[in-house]
Structure 1
Amino acid sequence: MSHHPIRRAAVIAVASVSALALGACSAGSLVNPTESSSAGKTTLTILMDSSTQTTTQGKAIADGFNASQDEIEVKIETRPEGTDGDNVVKTRLATGEMTDLFQYNSGSLMQALDPATNMVSLTDQDFIANLDESFVTSVTADEQVYGVPFGQLMAGGIYYNKKVYADLGLSVPKTWDEFMANNAKIKEAGIDPVIQTYGDTWTSQLFVLADFHNVLSEQPDWAEKYTANQAKYVDEPAIKGFERLQDVYDAGYLNKDFASAKLTQGLQQLVDGTGAQYPSLTFTITSYLELADDAAENIGFFAQPGDDAATNGLTSWSPAALYIPSTTTGDKLDAAKKFLAWVATPEACDALTAAMDPTGPYAVKGCALPDGLPAAVTDMQAYYDNGNVSPALEFLSAVKGPNLEKITVEVGSGITTAADGAARYDEDVKKQAQQLGLEGW
C-alpha cells in the first residue's frame, strides 16, 4: 500500500465504507461545476471522492447549509477514489484549477500536499475552538490549522463477541497480560481467541498501529523523536506492537485460515462466535451489522491493552477534512469560511446523523450521538468522553513506510521475528523521510 498504511488499504477493503471503488470523475459528478448559480448567490463547489459514504455526507452538509441561509449555495463535484483520486487532487492544486473547497485526508497525506503553499490557513478563525484537539493536531502544519472535520473519528482496537465473553465469565482486559489470559480461556473452550485476516493485508497492521496510545503513554515525545530519527520501532516502547503480533501467533491463538482469510470472513467468524476477538479499525462497524441479527448489540470494542491498566486508552484516527485551496479568494473565500464555520457546529453533525448513522464520535464539540447505535460505537465513545485517547502516529508524524503491511503479515505468520520485523520497518521509512527532506535522515 502506498503512503497511508491504514486508510489507503481500508479504502480497497470495503467498497461501501471508508474506501471505495474507483469511479470516473465526470460520470460520478453530482453537479456540473460550471452551472450558473441562483441569482445573487455566491456558489461554492466542493471536490470530494465518489464513495457512497462520502457523497451522502457531502450532500447532507451542503443541503443543510444551503437551507440555513440564502446568500451562498454549496454544490458537490466528485473525483475517483484511491490513487487516481489523489492524482486528481494533486494535479488540480498544482495547476491552480481546484474547486472552491475540497475534501481530503487529514494527517500525513495532508502534509504531503504542501499546505503552506496550496491551502488557506484557518488558524485565526473562531470556529477552530469548536474542534476536537486531536483532530486539530491532524490538520496542523508549521503551527497553522488548515481543515475542518468531514465525518467521524475512528479508532483502532479489538472487537469482541460479548456472548462469548459472558459465557466464559471474561471481562474486558486493560493489560496485555489480562488479554492473553482471556485468550487462554477462550482457546480452552474450543473458540479461536484472535481472528486475523491476512488475505486483506492491511488488517495485519492493527496490533502495531493500535498500540500507539501505549507508546505515547510511556514516552510522550516519541513521535517528535521518531520524526527527527531519534526513536526507532526496534527499541522499547514501540517494539511492543510487533511483539504482541508475534505473541498471539506463538501461543497458537489464531484462526486456522488466518493467512488467507479476508476481512468479511473475519467479521463473519466474529459475529458467529467461532472467533472471539478481531483487531480492526472501527470504520468496519457498518460491514458486520448485516452479518447477524444480533451483531449491533453483541459485538463490543475495547482499546488495545498495554502494560499498565492505569494508562489504558485508545488510539484514534481523525476523519478526512474540508480544505480551502489558496486559489479561492475574495467573495468566494469569505463564503467558504462561512460554510466551514457552519460545518463546525452541532447543527451540521445533526445533518450528517440524519443522513447516515455515525460509526464514531464527531470531532466537533457539542455534537451528540443518537441513541440506538451499535454497541461498539458506544464503547468507543466512552474513551473519548474520559479523555483516554491518543492520535495515531500518522497524525503526529509524516514518517511512514510503504511496506508495513507486508512486514506485519510476516511477523504475524511466524515467518519473521518481532525484532527483525521492527528493524525492517525502521529501514523501510528512511526513503520517505529523506524524500520529505526531514532533518536527521
Structure 2
Amino acid sequence: MRTRHIAIALLATASMALTACSAGSLGSSDDSGGDGKVTISFLYDNGSETAKIGDQLVKDFTAKNPNITIKTETRPQGTDGDNLIKTRLSTGDMSDVFMYNSGSLFQALAPEKNLAPLGDTENIGNLDKNFTTTVTSNGKIYGVPWGGFMAGAILYNKDVYAKLGLQIPKTWDDFMANNSKIKAGGVDPVIQTYGETWTSQLFILGDYANVNTADPQWADKYTKNQAKYATTPAALAGFQHLQDVHDKGYENKDFASAKLTDGLRYLATGKGAQYPILSAMVSQLIADNPGTEDKVGLFPIPGTDASQNKLTVWSPNGVYIPSSTTGAKLEAAKKFLAYIASVDGCNSQTTASTPTGPYAVKGCTVGDKVPQAVKDMQGYIDSGSSSLALEFLSPVKGPALEQICVEVGSGIRKADAAAKLYDEDVKKQAQQLGLEGW
C-alpha cells in the first residue's frame, strides 16, 4: 500500500458524484466575453478540509481579481477520482483548473500531452525544489502546491524529554542512548502499533533522507535494478532500526496488537516517549487528545552523520491546468495558479484550515497557532534539510513491505533476511510496471 494512499484513506471516503458547487453551467457561452471578464472552472476532491481550502482560495482570489469568476466542482477521492480525472483529460472535458496528486500519479496523467506547462508563470520560481521535482516532466513544471508537506519522522513527548534531560538525537547511536535512559525512567521508549500494519513502515520509509544523503543517485539506480536494500548499507539500516528497537526491548508491550489511536494516546499521556509515524497524524493526535498541541514535537529519523540530519518529506498535492484550457481562460487559470503559489495564497489556505505541514512556497509560514510538531517541520524545510520520500523518486515499492516490517519489529525475521525478501517483493512490481533492467 503506498503511503500516500495511506494518508488519503484516513480522510473521508464518500463516493460523491461529480457535483457543481456553485450556480451556472460549466462551459457556458458567456464564460469568456468581450468585456474583459472570464469564467473558469476549478475541480478538487470532496474531502471536507479540501472544500474549505478550495472555497477560501476562490473567495480571496476573486476579491482581488473581480473580472475572473471561478465555478467550483468536486469529485470522489481514491480510485473513482483517479479514473474520473483520466477520463476527462482523455476526452478534453477537464475543468479549467484541477487539484490532483503529485509524484508518480501525476506522471501517470501523461503531463506533456494532457497538461499546460507553467513556463514563466509568476511565482513559479518561489516553489520548493522538493515539490517541483514531483510536478516536473521533461524539464517543465506543470503544477503549484496545494497544502503543505508531510513528514515521515519521530513524534516525541516533550515532557518526557525535559524530565529526563534528553536532547534531540541527531544520530542513531544518540537515539538508542536516549532509549536506554527513557526505559530506565519507566517509560516505553518507542511506540509501535502493529495492530495497524501500515504504521510499521516508518523506520524504512522515513529513513530515506539518510539513504539519499549517502547516495543522491540511489533512487535512479534502484529503479533500474542497479541497487538493492540488502546490499546498500544506508538502505539496510532502516530494517536494522526495527531489529535494534525490538532486540533491546524498547517497544511497548502490546506492540503486536496496539493500533494508531492507542499509539497516539500513549504518546500524548507520556506512557510512551517516541512514535515513528506520519506527521499528518498530528491532527488526529490533537483531536483525540485535546491540549497536546505543544506537548509533542518532531525530529527526523536519525542517521549516522549528525551534520546531515535531514527530514524525509512527502510532497503536497498539485494544482494543474489541462491542455484543453486555452485563450483568455488559460491566462486567467495561470493567474489563479500564481496566486496559489504566493504568500497570499498560503495565508488563504491557513485561514481555511490549520496547516498540518509547512508550505512548499518560499516566504510562507505556518504561523504561531499550529502544533509544535508542524513548527519543528518548518525549520527543516526552511534550512533545506529535507529530502523527498522514495515513492516520489521511484515507482518501485513492493506490496509486502508492511508485513515484512512487522516481522522484523516482532523479532520473527532478522534485518538482513528481511531486506533480501523485500528486494524480491519489489521485483514483481517492477516487472509488472515494465521497467527496464528487471
TM-score (norm 2): 0.93
Identity %: 55
Q: State which drifts further: 155-164 or 280-289.
A: 280-289
Cα–Cα, structure 1 residues 388 and 161, in superposed 2: closer, same or farther, change >3 Å?
same
Tell me which amino acid in the other structure corresponds to 1:255.
Answer: N
1:30 has 2:27 as partner = no
Tell me which residue corresponds to 2:115: 119
The equivalences for 1:290-309 within 5 A come to 290-309=287-306
1:48 has 2:44 as partner = yes
Structure 2 Cα separation of the partners of residues 213 and 70 of structure 1: 44
Tell me which residue corresponds to 1:9: 6
Structure 2 Cα separation of the partners of residues 425 and 96 of structure 1: 41
Cα distance, 1:32 vs structure 2: 6.0
Would the aligned equivalents of 1:29 and 1:79 in 2 still touch at CA under 8 Å? Answer: no
1:382 has 2:379 as partner = yes
Cα–Cα, structure 1 residues 31 and 399, in superposed 2: closer, same or farther, change >3 Å?
farther
Tell me which residue corresponds to 2:223: 227
Q: State which drifts further: 392-401 or 165-174.
A: 392-401
Cα distance, 1:256 vs structure 2: 2.0
1:332 to 321, 325, 329: 329
Query: Cα deviations across residues 191-232 of structure 1 (Å, max 9, x unaligned)?
Result: 111111222222111110111111111112111211222111
Q: State which drifts further: 83-92 or 50-59.
A: 83-92
Cα–Cα, structure 1 residues 246 and 30, in superposed 2: closer, same or farther, change >3 Å?
farther
Tell me which residue corresponds to 1:140: 136
1:405 has 2:402 as partner = yes
Structure 2 Cα separation of the partners of residues 143 and 406 of structure 1: 37
Tell me which residue corresponds to 1:429: 426
Cα distance, 1:23 vs structure 2: 2.7
Q: State which drifts further: 172-181 or 284-293.
A: 284-293
Tell me which residue corresponds to 1:174: 170
Q: State which drifts further: 345-354 or 75-84.
A: 75-84
- Show structure 2 runs of 5+ residues with no match: none
SS of equivalent residue, structure 1 residue 47:
strand
Tell me which amino acid in the other structure corresponds to 2:392.
Answer: F
Structure 2 Cα separation of the partners of residues 81 and 322 of structure 1: 15
Structure 2 Cα separation of the partners of residues 334 and 430 of structure 1: 45
2:106 to 110, 118, 133: 110
SS of equivalent residue, structure 2 residue 123:
helix
Cα distance, 1:403 vs structure 2: 2.8
Cα distance, 1:167 vs structure 2: 1.2
Tell me which amino acid in the other structure corresponds to 2:322.
Answer: P
Query: Cα deviations across residues 43-75 of structure 1 (Å, max 9, x unaligned)?
Result: 222221111121111111111111111222122
Would the aligned equivalents of 2:32 and 2:329 in 1 still touch at CA under 8 Å? Answer: no
Cα distance, 1:136 vs structure 2: 0.6
Structure 2 Cα separation of the partners of residues 325 and 414 of structure 1: 50
- Show structure 1 runs of 5+ residues with no match: none
Cα–Cα, structure 1 residues 432 and 332, in superposed 2: closer, same or farther, change >3 Å?
farther
Tell me which residue corresponds to 1:158: 154
Would the aligned equivalents of 1:157 and 1:280 in 2 still touch at CA under 8 Å? Answer: yes
Q: State which drifts further: 356-365 or 401-410.
A: 401-410
Structure 2 Cα separation of the partners of residues 209 and 379 of structure 1: 19
Structure 2 Cα separation of the partners of residues 109 and 76 of structure 1: 23
CA RMSD, Structure 1 to Structure 2 (Å): 1.9
Cα distance, 1:439 vs structure 2: 2.8
Structure 1 Cα separation of the partners of residues 240 and 7 of structure 2: 24
Cα distance, 1:437 vs structure 2: 3.7
Cα–Cα, structure 1 residues 394 and 253, in superposed 2: closer, same or farther, change >3 Å?
same
TM-score (norm 1): 0.93
Tell me which amino acid in the other structure corresponds to 2:318.
Answer: A
Cα distance, 1:38 vs structure 2: 7.6
Structure 2 Cα separation of the partners of residues 200 and 29 of structure 1: 37
Alignment size in residue pairs:
432
Structure 1 Cα separation of the partners of residues 81 and 402 of structure 2: 22
Structure 2 Cα separation of the partners of residues 170 and 69 of structure 1: 52
Tell me which amino acid in the other structure corresponds to 2:303.
Answer: G
Query: Cα deviations across residues 264-320 of structure 1 (Å, max 9, x unaligned)?
Result: 221111001101101111111111113344311110110110111111111111100
Tell me which amino acid in the other structure corresponds to 1:167.
Answer: K
The equivalences for 1:277-296 within 5 A come to 277-296=274-293
1:253 to 250, 253, 262: 250
Tell me which residue corresponds to 2:307: 310
Cα distance, 1:435 vs structure 2: 4.1
Structure 1 Cα separation of the partners of residues 107 and 424 of structure 2: 22
Tell me which amino acid in the other structure corresponds to 2:182.
Answer: I
SS of equivalent residue, structure 1 residue 97:
coil
Cα–Cα, structure 1 residues 432 and 96, in superposed 2: closer, same or farther, change >3 Å?
farther
Cα distance, 1:259 vs structure 2: 2.1
Tell me which amino acid in the other structure corresponds to 2:252.
Answer: N
Q: State which drifts further: 140-149 or 408-417.
A: 408-417
Structure 1 Cα separation of the partners of residues 189 and 45 of structure 2: 37
Tell me which amino acid in the other structure corresponds to 1:365.
Answer: K
2:190 to 187, 190, 194: 194
Structure 2 Cα separation of the partners of residues 349 and 221 of structure 1: 32
Q: State which drifts further: 359-368 or 122-131.
A: 122-131
Cα–Cα, structure 1 residues 361 and 248, in superposed 2: closer, same or farther, change >3 Å?
same
SS of equivalent residue, structure 2 residue 318:
strand
Tell me which amino acid in the other structure corresponds to 2:96.
Answer: D
Would the aligned equivalents of 2:153 and 2:300 in 1 still touch at CA under 8 Å? Answer: yes
